[in-house]
Chain A
Amino acid sequence: MKLTLAQKILWVAAALALVAFAALVWTGGLRTSSSEESAQQAFRPEFRLEDAAGRPVTSEDFRGRYRLVFFGFTNCPDVCPTTLSEVAQVMDGLGSQADRVQPLFLSVDPERDAGAELAEFTSAFHPSILGLAGSPEATQAAAESFKIFFAREDDATAPDGYSMAHASALYLIGPDGDWLRQYEYGMPATDILADLQNRLEGSLP
């Protein structure tokens, strides 16, 4: 890979940004939500976003069903496809009970994720996954309601010069809207499926 002067400058800039970011983390300037923190007590996450057709969608719309929620962005080539493919396996595994669980993909990058693009992305993994996006304010409000962290991070080597850092767990919301638990990133789809099946069969809330 031969580097032009511009590319060299970009790489140096990226390295500086990394160092600055590391310093910020080191000094505790960034708040991240830990699983222990979120698992403390029950709460009721809410959001007010839009689907790919621009229709308003709120958390209340899914009352009576479990909601499997993931925050991500469509320019994410690695973590997001990995997690959405797990969600797809879980939904396939649920079989006839799949209609009792609504998987939701909430964009943390509304600037780039809106409309048909979002639907094109989510449907590539599973037709049941509903992609939602909103204004920057609505996105922030949704994240705060779920007590999750996301941030735009400048990265000269990423598309459009930035990437999104984001909480990468799956969140389970119960039929009444209460936050139930999170499935840590990397948890095998079979484990998530088993937990969901226990709940659907009534042995867990």
Chain B
Amino acid sequence: MKLPVAAVLAFALSAGLVHAEPVRQGDLEIDAAWARASIGTSRPGAAYFTVRNLGDEADRLTGLSSPVSAMPMLHETTVSEGVSRMAHVEAAEIPAGGELTLESGGMHVMLMELTTPLKEGATFPLTLTFESGGEITVEVPVFGPGATGPAE
């Protein structure tokens, strides 16, 4: 979290990493990562992705880190009787052969204490920590503030 953010972003952009190619490591595959552009840094951003578990044993997503947020947290939006609320999720399971989908209106990464605004067209690294699968870093493309899915 102490990386020079501007340098990281500049590198990501110069290296042409603006993509959402699946990243495979061991039995896990991270796909369809994207984030919504933030409005400044005073309000939290949101990021989403899908984790596929190609192995025979369940794994758990237990941690997140990114140079763009001092406090990334897994949250889940629930809508019950027309009222939406958010709850913190400590860890999320990815069943053997199954997947975990973070999406608009459901589970999401709430990127709090942004160190830099998430600008449309930029990318930033997000590291996911899994109980068995270890750490996997994906490059997250930033879509517009009104984006609702990984395909713009």
Contacts and interface: CB of A to CB of B under 8 A. Distances in A.
Given A84-B146, A124-B145, A14 B88 contact: yes
Which of A78, A153, A165, A185 has the largest count of B CB atoms less than 10 A from its CB?
A: A78
Q: Which of B45, B86, B105, B129 has the most A CB atoms < 10 Å from its CB?
A: B86
B62 interface: yes
A202 interface: no
> Interface majority SS on B: helix, strand, loop or mixed?
strand
B147 A168 contact: no
B2 interface: no
A165 B82 contact: no
Interface string B72-112: 01010101111111111010000000000000110010111
Contact of A81 (B63, B88, B146): B146
A185 B82 contact: yes
A157 B113 CA distance: 11
Nearest to B45: A77
A14 to B, nearest CB: 5
A163 B46 contact: no
Contacts of A18: 87-88
Interface stretch (A28-36, A53-61, A172-180): A28-36
A43 interface: no
B42 interface: yes
A79 B105 contact: yes
Nearest to B72: A1
A77 B79 contact: no
A165 B85 contact: yes
Nearest to A7: B71
A112 to B, nearest CB: 9
